Structure 1
C-alpha cells in the first residue's frame, strides 16, 4: 500500500500541474471556448498542491479585472452559492481577506430561515451541496454561530429522511424535506443505482466531522456516522465514481476521529479510482460525460483536493 500511496500523491500533483498549464500570463483563467465562471476551485486546489504563487496570481487577476461586485459576489458566478463557497476557501486560506470577507458576507445573505442555502440565489429550495460547503467555510472564517445554524439544517435533513434507500437532499426554506409530497420533481440519491450525486451526502458528513473538531460535541460524530452509513449502503461505485470525492475526504476525516476502518478503506478506494483513471496529461473524463476541456480541468481541481487531503490525513497518522 505504501507504493500505491506514492502513486496516489503523484496523481494529485499531476492534476494540479495540469490545471496550472492553462493559466494565462496575466494570472487569469478565462479564454476562448472555456466557461467564464469556471475558476472557482483553482485557488484552493493549487495552494493545497503547493503552488501558492500561481494561486495568488489568479486572485490578483480577479482583483485587477474588477470581477468582485460590491455585494461580495463574483460577477461571473451569477448567484451560484456553491461556487462562491469554493472560492471563499481558496481566498481565505491564502489570507486574501480583501476577497474572502466580501464573499462570506454575500454567502451570509443567502442563509435562509432553516439555516440552508439554495444552490443559486433565488432558488425556491435549499440544497445540501451549497449548504454544507458554506458551513465548512464558516468554520474557517471563525463564525461558529453561523456554522452551527448550517449544521443544524443538515442534521434536520438527515433526520427527516423517510426511506433508507434514498437520500433527499433539498428542503424548503422553512426546513421541510423536499420529498415528492412537497415537490413532484424531488431529487434524491438512490442507493440501488450507480452514478449518483454522492457529493450531497459527502459535504454534509465532512461538515459534521469539522463541527466535532470545533466543539467536541459527540452528537456531531453520531450524525457523521449516519451520513457514512447511508453512503456505505449505496451502489458499489459509492467511492469509485467521479462524484465520490467529497465523501472520500469526509470518510478520511471520520477515520481520523474514530478509527473506523470502513471509512479509511472508502477513502482509499477513491484514491485508487483517481490514480487508475487519470489521463496521461493529468486530467479526467468518463464515458458518461462530454469530451470538453472543462470536464478534464474541473475533475483535476476536485480530485487533487479530495484525494490529496485524504492522503495527508493518513500520512499524519502513520507512526
Structure 2
C-alpha cells in the first residue's frame, strides 16, 4: 500500500510545471482540485503550498470563490465540490487564508433550512438542486474547519434524504429541491440491482456521517452511516471493478473504526484491493468512461489524486484496533 501510494504521488509530481501548477489551466478547478489534499497526506507540503499559491494568484477571488483568470465551466454543475476539496487541502496544508476565506463563500451555497449545499451557484432558489455527494463533501470540509453547526445541518439533510426514500432497500435517490422534494428520476438514482452506478453517493454520505458522529456522538448519525454504507454494500458486484466504488471503502472503513464490526473492515479491504489492482505500472489510475478508452491527461490526474487520498482514508481506518 505504501509503495502504491508513493508510486502514485511520484507520477502526480511528474505532471507539475516548474512553479508547481498543472496545465491546461482551464481544468484547474474541474480536475486538479484534490491535488493539495493528496500532497498533504503524502508529505509533500511544499508542492501543495506552491500549487495553492498558483490558485491564490489566478483562481481565488476576494469573495473566497475559486474563480478568476480561467474557466471553471466543467465544474459548474457541482459548484461546491471542487471548492470544498480545495479548502480541505488548504486547511491540511495550513494555508488558512484560503481555507477561512473559502469557507465564508462556501457557506453561502448552503440551504439553511434543508441543510444541503446547492449544486449550482446560479440556482439557489426553490428549483435549485441539492445532492448527497456534493453536500457530504461540503459537510466534511465544514467539520475540518470547525463549522460544526453547518456540518450538523448537512446531517439533517442526509437524514431527510434517507427518510424520503420510497425503496431504500433497492434504490437511493440522491437529489432534492425545495420545489419537487426528492427527485425521483432514474438518472438521479443509485439502483442497487443495476451495474455502473454512482456508488460514491452512499459511500461519501457514510464517510461524512461517521466523521460527524466522531464530532457529535449522537446515535442517529452512526445509524445513518451504517444505513448508507450497507446500501452501498448491497449494490451489484460490478462496483468492485469501477473507480466510483472508492468512496464506499472510505465510508466502510470509518464505520468499522467506530463499531469494530469486521464486516465493514472486510468490505473496505475489498475496495482497497481494487484500488491497488487498478493502478498502472507508471503510477497513475484512470477513470474509463463509455465514450473513451483513452482518458485525457487531466482526467488521469484527477482520478489518481483521488485514489491516493482514498488509500490514506482506508488504510488509516482499517488499521485501528
TM-based fold match above 0.5: yes
Match of 1:45 among 38, 42, 50: 38
Relative to 1, partners in 2 of residues 1:55 and 1:82: Cα closer, same or farther, differing over 3 Å? same
Cα distance in structure 1, aligned partners of 2:147 and 2:28: 31
Q: 1:208 maps to which residue?
A: 209
Q: 1:5 maps to which residue?
A: none
Relative to 1, partners in 2 of residues 1:186 and 1:316: Cα closer, same or farther, differing over 3 Å? closer
Cα distance in structure 1, aligned partners of 2:182 and 2:45: 41
Asked whether the equivalents of residues 170 and 193 of structure 2 are also in contact (C-alpha less than 8 Å), the reply is: yes
Q: 2:315 maps to which residue?
A: 311
Asked whether the equivalents of residues 82 and 130 of structure 1 are also in contact (C-alpha less than 8 Å), the reply is: yes
Cα distance in structure 2, aligned partners of 1:246 and 1:229: 13
1:215 CA drift (Å): 1.1
Report the number of matched residues.
304
Match of 1:15 among 2, 8, 20: 8
1:175 CA drift (Å): 8.3
DSSP 3-state at the match of 2:40: helix
Match of 1:54 among 40, 47, 50: 47
Cα distance in structure 1, aligned partners of 2:23 and 2:12: 12
1:285 CA drift (Å): 2.2
1:89-138 deviations in Å (ceiling 9; x for gaps): 00011111111112111110001131111222134211111101100111
Relative to 1, partners in 2 of residues 1:70 and 1:287: Cα closer, same or farther, differing over 3 Å? closer
Counterparts of residues 233-248 of structure 1 (less than 5 Å) = 233-248=234-249
RMSD: 1.8
Cα distance in structure 1, aligned partners of 2:72 and 2:82: 7
Q: 1:114 maps to which residue?
A: 114
Relative to 1, partners in 2 of residues 1:239 and 1:158: Cα closer, same or farther, differing over 3 Å? farther
DSSP 3-state at the match of 1:237: helix
Match of 2:183 among 171, 178, 184: 178
1:287 CA drift (Å): 4.7
Q: 1:267 maps to which residue?
A: 268
Cα distance in structure 1, aligned partners of 2:221 and 2:137: 16
Match of 1:166 among 164, 168, 171: 171
Gaps of 5+ in 2: none
Cα distance in structure 1, aligned partners of 2:204 and 2:72: 20
Q: 1:148 maps to which residue?
A: 152
1:138 aligns with 2:131: no
Relative to 1, partners in 2 of residues 1:288 and 1:62: Cα closer, same or farther, differing over 3 Å? closer
Cα distance in structure 1, aligned partners of 2:64 and 2:259: 38
Cα distance in structure 1, aligned partners of 2:212 and 2:149: 11
TM-score between both structures, scaled by the size of structure 2 = 0.89
1:36 CA drift (Å): 3.7
Q: 1:104 maps to which residue?
A: 103
TM-score between both structures, scaled by the size of structure 1 = 0.90
Gaps of 5+ in 1: 1-7
1:301 aligns with 2:320: no
1:177-232 deviations in Å (ceiling 9; x for gaps): 1114xxxx651001111221111111111111011100111111111111022112
Segments ≥4 residues shifted beyond 4 Å: none
DSSP 3-state at the match of 1:167: strand
1:228-286 deviations in Å (ceiling 9; x for gaps): 22112100133442001112111111100001212111111111111112111111225
